[in-house]
Chain A
Amino acid sequence: MSDQKILELFKNGKRSKAFKELYRLYPRIEKLILSKGGKKSDAQDVFQEALIILNRNLQKSDFKLTASFSTYLYSVSRFVWKDMQNKFSTQELHDLKDNEVSIFHHVLEEKKYRFAESAFRELGERCQELLQRFYFKKMSFKAIAEVMQFKSEKIAKNQKYKCLQKAKDIYRTTAKTVQP
């Protein structure tokens, strides 16, 4: 499938299909990570991260993919891996090219979201489900109340605020302890 077609899949909301297509590029990334001393499981984590970053950028209106998916994912993966290893020297950062700077920026941005994710994962299962349904699946409170058997829309709504607040509290404390 050509890059153009995969882009269309993203545009038409057929994200899972697009991911499946992009997975064809995985062997190349695996090779890269293995050559840099990582394990297979590392390679999978890195590739997953790269796909998430790609997806986020595609949703931004001002983002334009200048290279092929393959090249883009390759360089993002490289940065993700380096960042995981904390291997950036000041000199390297100094020598970054323009497009590399933006990729580096995306990787750092994603790190923040990773903390949010781990905060979210510390919530109770029900809280997780509720927030997922509302924010990720964009379900209405009415539908959520029905599926999750809340007595009313209002209760579902209140519960959502509480869950959100809890996630934020966790995020704040972890962000403080982890970030210098």
Chain B
Amino acid sequence: MKNYIENIDLINAYLDKTLSKTERLSFENRLKTDTEFKQLYSEQLTILEGVNRVGLKKEINAAKQGYTRAKWMKYVGFVVGVVLVSTLIYSFIFKSETSQITESRNSIIKTVSDSIIVEKISENKAKEIALPEKLVDSVKKRFTVVKRIVETIEDKELTKAYGGVKYMREVETLEDLGRFTRQEFNESFPELKHLKSKRDTVFIESRINKAKYGSEEVAIKNNLNSRNEDKELKATDNELITFFKTVKKTPQIIEVNTEKDFKVTCKEGTILTIPAKSFVDVKTGKLARGKINLEVTEYYKLSDMLLGNLTTKSDDRQLETGGMLYLEANKRGARLKLKHGRKIQMIFNNKGKTSMQLFSGEENDEGVNWKLENKAEDNFLSIKDVPVVKLMEEDVTVHFQSIEYVPIYPGCETENNNDRRKCMSDAVDKLVKRKFNTSIAENLSLNGKQRIYSSFEIDEKGNIGKISVRAPAKQLGDETIRILELIPQLVPGKQNNKPVKTSYNLVFTITLEGETVSSNNSVTVKNDRRFTESFEKRVDSIKATNGILATISNNDIQRYSFSSSNLGWINCDRFVNSKKSKVKFKLKIKDTKGTIVKLVFKNISSILPSKKNADEFDFGNIPIDEEVVVIAIKKTKDKLFLAKEETTIKAKPKLNLEFKEVSIQELKKELENLSDSF
């Protein structure tokens, strides 16, 4: 049996191409001579192909569904489109008739504009609309539930152009909520039981009429994922997210003429400078000409940030904020993005805060996570391309066998990748053969052939690091590390023309006297010294040039200017580098359903989120003695609760949060009151 397992492992290693050249050759030789082994090999191969077939079939089936779906979508889309257009035209004739009464205008122009006015943008987000299934009985039959949101927006610009005749635009969005059986559907949407499926699809209609009702949405419970096991929990958390969506600040809409350079001071003092012709359509990539709408939401006040579910955290590091911005641009409802290479310059309205840096945000379940974008610029007039600090992004490792551009071992300077690969593995084999001090093994009571498995990485500079060795004894492992560290500096491997880390596996055997007895106590030895050293050096050099940690002391600059090449979430922040020792801060709360807890710092502009873990909220490591306010917001069904408690940070906090019921207005007020101490 043991022999068998070894053989299987060997075959797997051969198929995965992790054997060294000599091993590979001996393997192939054995296939030719050892018929029993050959049979084992081909049998293994057959079984594996059988396993692969199952996986492949799954993939093919998925592809098939995607294909048929796409075909079906065209049909459904056409029908939906025709129905919509006709209802729209009908409603429009009706609407403009009423406006005809209030405004006496030439009726000929009216009827002409009637037909022009209806413009429909169908944005189809539905991922799946499925085919009818033939066999299943009606109870178990699943159908697709699609939420159709029709948004009516008044286009002010064109209303003006048409001399006061209201120009309405309907934007239709389809959102796929998944596949349901009738029973699941009734449970998830009890109020919509009456809806019947047509062509195995149920449409839930939702109309948003911005012109009439502001931004109120016809309420439809949107518990997307409620079919999961933790049904209730998810639903309430979702409710909280929907809650944050409703209390979110309404953006300021600025009309921008893209033909010229543009400068504007927003409501709360942020100054934006946008170069001419900077926007392109997200979908078509075409340059947006003429007037566009820029939506700006400014977050300077604590209450705004809390109600926006925003926190100041970059991965695990705490930030102090000097203001946050959310930018979005559209032209007649079509989303725009910044053209490649174009930048918006922004001057944040924050007095007296130094060494701020620009962060861009990614929205996730817990709110927004901030990532460092650019370094602060001392002069707020300069807009230049600053190399973005990308320590994390470069962290790509590609295997030696599959890398696009194989690293060059000194003496292996040939054009061909395969030649270089072969040359390098030969060179490494040779190095090990020549330099390995076998006398080390003499005192180890090891006999016969002993195999040593090792792996290492060639980093982006061509240095060897991350050495890991599995050997029958620690001494042999150490010796292997010594040898591998002798490998000279290489020209690093490249992927997509960028230097990346290359991983390399090396397996070799040493032959000692006596008969082979495989050792049962093999050890793994690791060495990452050289690698860490060079990594730290790089961090230092970045520190020196970009001044992440060194304070840029220029107190004259009271406002910070940045340029950003992204729209979306932007934050003007600095890392909090407290010299105080840190403690793990965790809070226990009894009934955690639908609750979020945040920490607001009194002395720095910072808000930290927490991770929910059963009945505990974990804030990670926080500087000791810091004065904070714990804010907990809870939403159950239709009631809102708020608890706030001032405290100082210490290990094992004892806090008794008392929740009191509040209305949205009261909650806003409470949070605004907090702003004063911010």
Contacts and interface: CB of A to CB of B under 8 A. Distances in A.
Contact of A48 (B49, B55, B57, B67): B57
Contacts of A23: 63-64, 66-67
B53 A114 contact: yes
B8 interface: yes
Given A19-B59, A20-B63, A20-B67, A52 B53 contact: yes
Q: Is the interface of B mostly helix, strand, loop or mixed?
A: helix
B549 interface: no
A26 interface: yes
A71 interface: no
Interface string B35-61: 000000001001111111111110111
Q: Is the interface of A mostly helix, strand, loop or mixed?
A: helix
B108 interface: no
A121 B60 CA distance: 17
Contacts of A112: 46
Interface residues of A, number: 35
Interface string B171-213: 0000000000000000000000000000000000000000000
A126 interface: no
A116 B66 contact: no
Given A52-B60, A161-B5, A164-B8, A136 B67 contact: no
Contacts of B53: 52, 113-114, 116-117
A115 B53 CA distance: 11
A120 B50 contact: yes
Contacts of A29: none
B62 interface: yes
A136 B46 contact: no
A20 B66 contact: yes
B59 A15 contact: yes
Given A16-B59, A55-B56, A164-B8, A116 B64 contact: no
Nearest to A113: B49
Interface in A139-180: 161, 164, 167-168, 171
Interface residues of B, number: 23
Nearest to A20: B63
A52 B62 CA distance: 14
Interface stretch (A82-90, A94-102, A127-135): A127-135
A24 interface: yes
Contacts of B8: 161, 164
B47 A137 contact: no
A75 interface: no
Contacts of A118: 50
A44 B67 CA distance: 13
Interface in A44-58: 44, 48, 51-52, 55-56
A171 B47 contact: yes
Contacts of B55: 132, 136-137
A73 interface: no
27 contacts: A15-B59, A19-B60, A19-B62, A20-B67, A24-B67, A26-B64, A26-B67, A48-B57, A51-B56, A52-B53, A52-B56, A112-B46, A113-B50, A114-B53, A116-B47, A120-B47, A120-B50, A121-B54, A132-B51, A135-B48, A136-B51, A136-B52, A136-B54, A161-B8, A164-B47, A167-B47, A171-B46
Q: Nearest 3 CB-CB pairs, A to B?
A: A116-B50, A19-B63, A23-B67
Given A20-B66, A117-B51, 6 more contacts: A19-B60, A20-B67, A48-B61, A114-B50, A128-B54, A135-B52
Interface of A: 15-16, 19-20, 22-24, 26, 44, 48, 51-52, 55-56, 112-121, 128, 131-132, 135-137, 161, 164, 167-168, 171
Interface of B: 5, 8, 43, 46-57, 59-64, 66-67
